[in-house]
Structure 1
Amino acid sequence: MKTRHFERIANGGITFTELGFGTAPLGNLYRAISDEEAEAVLESAWETGCRYFDTAPLYGLGLAETRLNRFLRKRKREDYVLSTKVGRLLAVCPPEERTGIGKFFDTPSRREVYDYTYDGVMRSVEFSLERLGVDRIDILYAHDLDVFNHGSWEALEAKLTELMRSGYYALLSLRDQGVIKAFGAGVNEWQPCEWLAERGDFDLFLLAGRYTLLEQEALQSFLPLCEKRGIGIVLGGPYNSGILATGAKPGAYYNYEPAPQDIMEKVARIEAVCARHGVKLVEAALKFPLLNPIVCSVIPGGQSVEQVQTNRAVLDAGIPDALWADLKAEGLMHPGAPTDPSGA
């Protein structure tokens, strides 16, 4: 698998595989899977050449990190890149009070406690190191600093401010000491990422679903700012929760919910252009973000061996340049979206 090297502050940098693996599904997201199934999925990802693994305390309330522990113990630490997240601590609670009921299944009884302070970041890192069973983590992302999770811009701004006044200095210290290589934020919206990039010395943003074949609004101001400051992007959710993989069929999901009619119609139009060029929608969706030179890796995740192998096969698909030109001509893609495979 092809790799992309990212280095911003002359500390040796990080070499990403173009396809990373997001472990939210291994936290029993939407359905429970066994430890053996999780192990098989991780083994399959490794066999495809994937060497970048992203996780978080939230995923299965610690379950994804502990499942990674078992898998990573068999690997040399220098052979893979590992990221996890800060901003949530997990508190023991009665089963009926646990976080993620109806979303995560068969997880430990824990409830999330948002904490973006200095001490909160340090405690979160310590807990993650124990769950993962490793002695270092390459990247830390401040998790879910977005309106989607905090309910309003006012509530979000209070959390953003808490991070910048407190937890940010923990992240800086960890990077300065060489404990981590890089830090940033893992977010579902580009606007809070831009807010942070304007105020701090961030390396990477894990942006979920906001720079895809369906959405390129981030090109208006955020991605140019990242390019100017040498900030890298890891792109999560390249299929926008599924619709760019399944197509605009009944029951398709967008942003974790059934897709609205306007999204269904736009995806159907994109799919029609892809069909004219003999390209599957899912192939164009996975390849598109990687055409932007500031994107270091795309992490679609997977809850089965078949999904992991499919993502790898899709990555190798050839896409004619004319496809991107036609999408722009029909107003289905931002005219400034990078589409040159050479990066020129």
Structure 2
Amino acid sequence: MPARVQDRISLLGFGSAAIGNLYRPVTDELAFATVQTALTEGVLYIDTAPHYGFGLSEKRLGAALAELDPRRRVVISTKVGRRLDPRPDADLSQVRQGFVSPEPFESVFDYSYDAVMRSYEESRARLRRDIDVLYVHDLGRYAHGDKHPKLFAEFMEGGYRALRKLRDGGAVKAIGLGVNEWQVCEEALAHGDFDIMLLAGRYTLLEQRALETFLPLCKQRKVSIVVGGPYNSGILAHDGRNGTRRTGPLMYEYQPAPPDIVARVSAIEAVCARHDVPLAAAALQFPLAHPQVISVIPGMGNPDEVHRAKEWLTLPIPGAFWAELRAQGLVRPDAPLPVTE
């Protein structure tokens, strides 16, 4: 039986929105160096999307990997569901849809059959290689509110057929959703057959409601999980050892964190301090304890962030730390905890 692509995905993956100029410009040279460092550190899974810099992230990855990964050992995932429409009048110096990109496009949601097939072909051209995993980008109420039922129907009637054609024909090896909510993943699994879900920010050191129904369903259906957003928009991306202090606002869900979240993080940090554990290390290692989770993919925008993520992921964390988190009710009692040697 041929090996599944999931079995080739590294525990630490590379979320590549930052090299698409997320919020601020990044030079081509820095983007290349970041990808190079990731491969040197053993990262063999990179996730991208047309939305990331309106094709810029995919272009930069394509150029870097053509030189750095000629044997194509790296597993690549990208997304469909947002087409790129030309915007010749766009002010390329300003933040547009979260990106400061030289690409004169904007992304528009479109889950139709033709849009998904066209998006796949355009991504393949920018990446200069075949695509291993294809996710549907930002389906669900989190992104679309009351428009969700109409867009979900559009996807099932059109985009899903395109995904099945690509997977069943061998053009891609796995399909799934790349979303910020587990509820739409459950809805999709009730209507179709998927291999892998990229779930951002919903199974983390701060949030574990996915344990109630979603993760058991994934176990039953043999669906793998990639955890994106393990730092919950940055509030967990802190070392805290050696007296290091936070700078800037505490961000959660892409906005300033509410008081209850700040209080919960402070309680977790107090446990971290007692055991000399970096908060970010705990945030990266916690999701991987669940048997359905095969990779965690923090965003990384420079070589230092790659090095830190690798250090945090591999740092030994004492079992007493996890036990105290559970005893204080800071993680759910049914949450699997990392096994300490």
TM bin (shorter chain): over 0.9
Query: Residue in 2 aligned with 1:4?
Result: none
Once the 2 structures are TM-superposed, how far is the Cα of residue 77 of structure 1 from its aligned partner? 4.3
What is the match of residue 77 of structure 2? 83
Post-superposition Cα deviations, 1:285-333, rounded to whole Å, max 9, x if no partner, equal 1100111111111100211111111001111111122222221221111
Question: What letter matches 2:123 in structure 1?
Answer: S
Runs of 4 or more, structure 1, over 2 Å off, are: 94-100, 146-149, 246-250
Which of 5, 13, 23 is matched with 2:4 structurally?
13
- Cα contact 1:11–1:181 (8 A) shared by 2: no
Moved more, 123-132 or 99-108: 99-108
Residue 314, structure 1, aligned to residue 312, structure 2 = yes
3-state SS, counterpart of residue 191 of structure 2 = coil
Alignment counterpart, residue 254 of structure 2, candidates 253, 256, 262: 256
Q: CA deviation at 1:148?
A: 3.4
Does 1:159 find its partner at 2:151? yes
Matches within 5 A, 1:1-344: 11-14=2-5, 15-74=8-67, 75-96=69-90, 101=96, 103-134=98-129, 136-150=130-144, 152=145, 154-246=146-238, 249=246, 251-341=249-339
Deviation at 1:97, TM superposition (A): 7.9
- For the residues of structure 1 that align with 2:95 and 2:110, how far apart are their CA atoms? 18
RMSD (Å), alpha carbons? 1.8
Q: 1 CA distance for matches of 2:111 and 2:325?
A: 41
Distance in 1 of aligned mates of 2:295 and 2:188: 21
Alignment deviations for residues 58-115 of structure 1 (CA, whole Å, 9 cap, x no partner) = 0000000000011111213441101000001101013448896262113312122211
Q: TM-score, normalised by structure 1?
A: 0.92
Provide the TM-score with structure 2 as the length reference. 0.92
1:6 — aligned with what? none
Q: CA deviation at 1:146?
A: 2.9
Cα separation, 2, equivalents of 1:19 and 1:131: 24
Residue type matched to 1:240 in 2? N
Q: How far apart are residue 280 of structure 1 and its match?
A: 1.3
Contact 1:273-1:323 within 8 A present in 2 as well: yes
Q: Give the match's secondary structure for 2:286.
A: helix
Q: Is the CA contact (8 Å cut-off) linking 2:113 and 2:158 kept in structure 1?
A: yes
Whether the aligned pair in 2 keeps the contact of 1:27 and 1:107 (CA below 8 Å) is no
Q: Cα deviations across residues 263-299 of structure 1 (Å, max 9, x unaligned)?
A: 1000000111122222111111110011111111110
270-279 or 309-318, which moves further after superposition?
270-279
Q: Distance in 1 between matches of 2:74 and 2:175?
A: 17
**8 Å Cα contact 2:54/2:101 also seen in 1:** no
The letter for the 1-side match of 2:290 is N
* Cα distance in 2 for residues equivalent to 1:186 and 1:159: 15
Assess, with a 3 A threshold, how the Cα gap between structure 1 residues 121 and 310 changes in structure 2: closer, same or farther.
same
After superposition, what is the alpha-carbon deviation per residue over 1:109-160, rounded to whole angstroms, capped at 9, x for unaligned?
A: 21222111111111010110111111x110000001133322x1x3112211
C-alpha spacing 1:285/1:78, structure 2 compared with 1 (3 Å) = same
Query: Is the contact made by 1:97 and 1:111 (CA closer than 8 Å) also made in structure 2?
Result: no
Report the residue type matching 1:127 in the other structure.
Answer: E
| Equivalences, count | 330
Cα distance between partner residues in 1 of 2:114 and 2:71: 27
Deviates more, 1:289-298 or 1:239-248: 239-248
Contact 2:176–2:194 (CA under 8 A) maintained in structure 1: yes
Q: Structure 2 counterpart of 1:37, which letter? A: L
